Structure 1
């Protein structure tokens, strides 16, 4: 049964396969400003090496600390992976606070499900499991955004109590309660 876990080297092989799936759908190009895009450009060539992957996992786990090094404009965050045994299915990132950019476009919570695991309910279950974690971080309600044309993501957010506030550019902005 899938569960949220902290990033772990135990899903190394499956994680690399998932990132290859994302790459095949165009993620990681120079114009991809998503977390997966940025991480593919930084680590993509080295993820096959267990030592590089372990370093990547440690870096993600360290992001919960205020003092952790991160790019300018980034905030502390909690990364959780949705796994079923040794199978990596997706990830969710909870940003501990909002910057003006995150308030407009990114929100508190972002998630990705690997292409081969989509349309199986993972995104909704992952978000449902992550909302209490956000509450534990003092976030209530949580801002969650999605592209206007992403009907599946809209359904996931709404199913988890998200209420549409507005649209900014191509992003829809929802507030979801985290207290359950």
Structure 2
């Protein structure tokens, strides 16, 4: 399992890790905690909860998501290459606090709404600085794949996410529909 980077949040440290089948139940608990809300940053979920609940279905999800980071992979229609990371606390590395998806390029949809980086923190782990630390690590990963600036978006009514993006250097370009669009320069 590749560890992408470490960042402090308060007195603690988080790490971004690549998905692994070893954390199936922990990931599922994190994902299900969102309930009916969108689990931003958890990746393109074309898998049903029923399939993700099975070890075989989850292994398919992890294998597929890991392959999407490889530029040689031929992507399904409408998707772009992306690297998926899970957010864990170094003090409790088997507890998934959230997820971050780094899209390597933008298609028309991502340019309007999704951006290069999507992230989500499970509801029980919010308001601790985890999203800010995870986004900072995502920006380091974006630099490592050669991006010079990234688009990060959030819903217009998501004040906490807007503040997170701004703390990480985001400059508001505009609002399109229900999405606030921020660019972050990496150079």
Shift of 1:10: 2.7
Is 1:178 matched up with 2:178?
Answer: no
User: In structure 2, the residue corresponding to 1:47 is in which secondary structure?
Assistant: helix
Is 1:5 matched up with 2:17?
Answer: yes
Match in the other structure for 1:61 = 66
Is 1:111 matched up with 2:119?
Answer: yes
Is 1:127 matched up with 2:127?
Answer: no
Aligned residues: 172
Gaps of 5+ in 2: 1-12
Is 1:91 matched up with 2:96?
Answer: no
Is 1:102 matched up with 2:102?
Answer: no
Out of 30, 40, 47, which is 1:42 matched to?
47
Distance 1:35 1:2, change over 3 A: closer
Out of 119, 142, 161, which is 2:169 matched to?
161
Structure ranking higher in helix proportion = 1
TM-score normalised by length of structure 2: 0.84
Out of 30, 51, 62, which is 1:18 matched to?
30
Shift of 1:52: 2.3
Is the Cα–Cα contact under 8 Å of residues 117 and 150 in structure 2 kept in the other structure? yes
Structure ranking higher in strand proportion = 2
Is the Cα–Cα contact under 8 Å of residues 69 and 82 in structure 2 kept in the other structure? yes
TM-score normalised by length of structure 1: 0.87
Is the Cα–Cα contact under 8 Å of residues 42 and 99 in structure 2 kept in the other structure? no
**Separation (CA, whole Å) in 2 of partners of 1:77 and 1:6:** 12
**Separation (CA, whole Å) in 2 of partners of 1:132 and 1:38:** 22
Per-residue deviation, residues 5-34 of structure 1 (Å, max 9, x unmatched): 111123222111112212x2x14xxxx696
User: In structure 1, the residue corresponding to 2:53 is in which secondary structure?
Assistant: coil
Shift of 1:68: 2.9
Is the Cα–Cα contact under 8 Å of residues 92 and 130 in structure 1 kept in the other structure? yes
Per-residue deviation, residues 140-168 of structure 1 (Å, max 9, x unmatched): 21000011110000000000000011111
Is the Cα–Cα contact under 8 Å of residues 78 and 93 in structure 1 kept in the other structure? yes
Distance 1:120 1:80, change over 3 A: same
Gaps of 5+ in 1: none
